[in-house]
Structure 1
Amino acid sequence: MKFKTVLNAAIGFSLLVAVWQFIIVTGDYDEALFPPPLKVWEGIISLVRDGTLFTHVQVSLYRFLAGYLSAVLVAVLLGLILGRLPILWNVLDPVAQVLRPVSPIAWSPFIVLWFGIGDIPAIVIIFIAAFFPVLLSTVSAVRKVDRNYLKVSENLEIKGFKVLTKIIFPAAFPYIANGLHIAVGTAWVFLVAGEMVGAQSGLGYLIIDARNSMRLDLVMAGIVFIGISGLLLDKAVGVFEAWINRQWGIGKS
């Protein structure tokens, strides 16, 4: 199955590169304005050789993990509690629905004023981007938990916080995992956008710096690695999801 997955991915990317090259050949585009795959590959090699790529990837991953993991921890904990308190959630839900559509980048002027320049503003932007998808999916998941599970917990005299950790969280996790996947994509997109605005490092900054130097091959190289990194992060969440399910005897061994 894994070999088939790799083979399908290889075929898909090969088709993408072929279409890319076909557009350049038939459109007769200037290489400086629309670099071909070979020129982008040469740009990637140059970024790898001088260490620039790894430096920017490391910085972006640090910011992402700090913001994403903190958002997940806070959102899941709040979601478990609020899902069990429908009266309180009915009051807070309209507030969440108003704040959720606001782009985290819209908060950037306040974030910079409050937290200054550096890694913290990017981490806060990622936190905001990841928080609401996980919170809403967790609350929804908790409210869908089978009531029979709660009756079993009462019979076993499981009370208080243990009900959340031993009964509700395992039952709700498959739905929570959907929010984790959505949050990965959302947070990664806004991380790159945030780095394009005010950062001096990271993959977003790499693209802006290359654009200012009119090195569109490096711009495209940055785009390629943004996509690859996002894919790997989503796969990492999938691995974590499968591991959790195996611990509870849900997934395949």
Structure 2
Amino acid sequence: MFKKVLCFSLAVMMCFALVACGGEKTNTDGKTYTIATDTTFPPFEYQDENGDYVGIDIELLAAIAADQGFQYELQPLGFDAACAALESGQADGVIAGMSIKPERKEKYDFSDPYFDSAVIVAVKADAEYASLEDLKGQTIAVKNGTEGASYAESIAAEYGFTVKTFEDSPTMYMEVTTGNAAACVEDYEIMRFGVENGNGLKMVGEKNVASSYGFAVQKGQNPELLEMFNKGFANLKANGKYDEILAKYLQ
């Protein structure tokens, strides 16, 4: 009888031990996260000649998922649509070269910063503008929700700029190349990539330090996803994979 009681007690203790251990592990078994991104924001996300999405954000997310062992489905929606999907619960996270801003932190939880950005002014390749002073009183094109837009608005009164907002970078660039705007303001690495790949523009003046990029989830939602992103990113920095990804896209 004593042996039966002892065996039963041990079995119960083992069950509790298993439950306790299971509770310490992030439970993502069988879950596929929906991650939204921009459609055209090279070199962070864009389509290659085969129509596949590539870029720093795309490879970084894939490497972090592999490191942490979670599954995800990528949805290239455009920046505004990606944010809307996150806020409506149709996406679990967004990686889209998103600057970590105070107003965004009110509704999103951000990862540790994964890239430090800067902004630059660009004009048509054959334009004679060489500085902000030369652009006084002109129309400046920006992309909605970007650091470039914030920077342009912050100096608009000083230089008499009229700021026009667009939903994507290609349309913003076209506004300048067709002469409807004298210049545009873009994140430096995005503009550098575009100029090198023949977008018809040239950079003028000095680049200005801007906010860092972060991976975002809806405030209070998917904390385990944010934790895995941060852990995976730290591992990639430590093992050199992060530097490899940057070197592939940033010359």
Q: Could you say which TM-score interval applies, normalised by the shorter chain?
A: under 0.3
More strand as a share of residues: 2
Given the two structures, how large is their TM-score scaled by the length of structure 2? 0.26
More helix as a share of residues: 1
Given the two structures, how large is their TM-score scaled by the length of structure 1? 0.26
